[in-house]
Structure 1
Amino acid sequence: MKPHTDHANLAWGWCAITALGDFDPDTGGHLILWDLGLVIQFPPGATILMPSVLLLHSNVEVKEGQTRYSFTQYSAGGLFRWVYNRFCTDKNLLEKATDQKKAKHERERSQR
């Protein structure tokens, strides 16, 4: 898997990742946390909590004939913006906002 961050997740949220499948954890399926310089053995059934929006991560491939799946639980940042904006998108909110409210919205956004 290509190293990535999960940019759509809630910036200060935690992501729960569970490894599933039928694979040999000694030879593949490891979790790589690139920013921390860590390669973690991650056997089927293991779960980790991590700020996936902040940490560049990927997995070591498993051998041919083996399978590895991830069950990932996260909070989408867009849902929190929707509620914060009183149940509308940033675009819709800003279309109707006064200049003063737009400035306030930008100030608050930059502080989150």
Structure 2
Amino acid sequence: QLMPATGQEEARLLEMGNADLWDPATNILLGASHLARLQKRFRRLEWAVAAYNAGSGSVGKWIKEGEDRPFDEWMEDIPYNETRNYVRKVMGNLFIYRVLY
């Protein structure tokens, strides 16, 4: 899911016009595009995942405060409980999928 402004911006960047953000297929396409842009910007998937949840501005600040730290330490210092838990869950599931597949 995307915030409306983020979804509209992604639709604009993909030249989709007034995309229906409530359409599941459209929302998945826009979300995947947004995550890809975040990964390109932040270079590390875990930072991109945090930015997907908390926003680029917040994550940019957190990176400046602890860019050189190991990811697990950086993640534990995320000040937003929701984002910290989201990143834990996403990265944990990624690890499981990599082991299984």
TM-score of the aligned structures, taking structure 2 as reference length: 0.29
Structure richer in helix, relative to its length:
2
Higher gyration radius (CA): 1
Structure richer in strand, relative to its length:
1
TM-score of the aligned structures, taking structure 1 as reference length: 0.27
Q: Determine which structure has greater relative contact order: mean sequence separation of CA pairs < 8 Å that are 6+ residues apart, divided by chain length.
A: 1
